[in-house]
Amino acid sequence: MSAEEKYVPLKGYSRLDEDAMRGEIEALRESLSKRRSIRMFSNDPVPRDIIENAIRVAGTAPSGANHQPWHFVAISDPETKRKIREAAEEEEREFYGGRASEEWLDALDPLGTDDHKPFLETAPWLIAVFAQRRGGEKNGQDKKNYYVTESVGLATGMLITALHSAGLGTLTHTPAPMGFLTEICGRPKTEKPFVLMVVGYPAEGCQVPTHALIKKDLEEITTFID
């Protein structure tokens, strides 16, 4: 690639004045501070184009060598959701019934979670996120991918942010192990299930654990060296 082809001017960037910067960040902080992981979903449908655009947002995430090592499987089909619920609950029965350490179960106690996952069928959408160990900047390539976990984590964070901005509730669900998703979603074995996002409107009377309201403040999470 010639030096002229290698770069293009940065487009669409405009510098904000400092008050506008403060306003934008405050508005985003205010909005995202209301985001909660929810486990009580309404079965009201969510139009597919909203899910598509949220995934487009996720697809803008930065990634190692721009290989975009992710694949999203968006599921609204009731039969597939039922299969996922069954497989997830089977894993969770083992998890809660002995596989998890006492320490882990103690940490989960304030969340009140158990092996029942009805939301996997109630919620209108499940989005299974897969991480690709190999790929490239274009589909069909077979190059090594880099910083796969970091990249897919960033894309998932942006997906959650996009869904929240549309007024949707999410749950970041990680039944372990998640191998069953590979088969149910028809993905290649070279991809690793990364997370299962549950997406929809909060149910009427939806409750969230008090524990999840505890947020560390700036001084606890930050060191400035300035």
Could you write out the three-class secondary structure of the chain? CCHHHHCCCCCCCCCCCHHHHHHHHHHHHHHHCCCCECCCECCCCCCHHHHHHHHHHHCCCCCHHHCCCEEEEEECCHHHHHHHHHHHHHHHHHHHHHHCCHHHHHHHHHHCCCCCCCHHHHCCEEEEEEEECEECCCCCCCEECCCHHHHHHHHHHHHHHHHHHCCCEEEEECCCCCCHHHHHCCCCCCEEEEEEEEEECECCCCCCCHHHHCCCCHHHHCCCCC
Among 57, 111, 206, 208, indicate the residue that binds ligand IYR (CB under 6 A). Answer: 111
- Give the residue with the Cβ less far from ligand IYR, 99 or 143: 99
* Listed ranges 13-21, 105-113, 148-156, 215-223: which one lies at the site for ligand IYR (CB under 6 A): 105-113
Closest distance of CB 173 from ligand IYR, Å: 6
Judged by CB, which is closer to ligand IYR: 101, or 139?
101
Q: Does 108 bind ligand IYR (CB under 6 A)?
A: yes
The verdict on 113 binding ligand IYR (CB under 6 A) reads yes
User: Which of 68, 173, 201, 203 forms a contact with ligand IYR (CB under 6 A)?
Assistant: 173
- Does 193 contact ligand IYR by CB under 6 A? no
Q: Would you count residue 40 as binding ligand IYR (CB under 6 A)? A: no
Using CB under 6 A, list all residues that contact ligand IYR. 92, 95, 108, 111, 113, 173-176
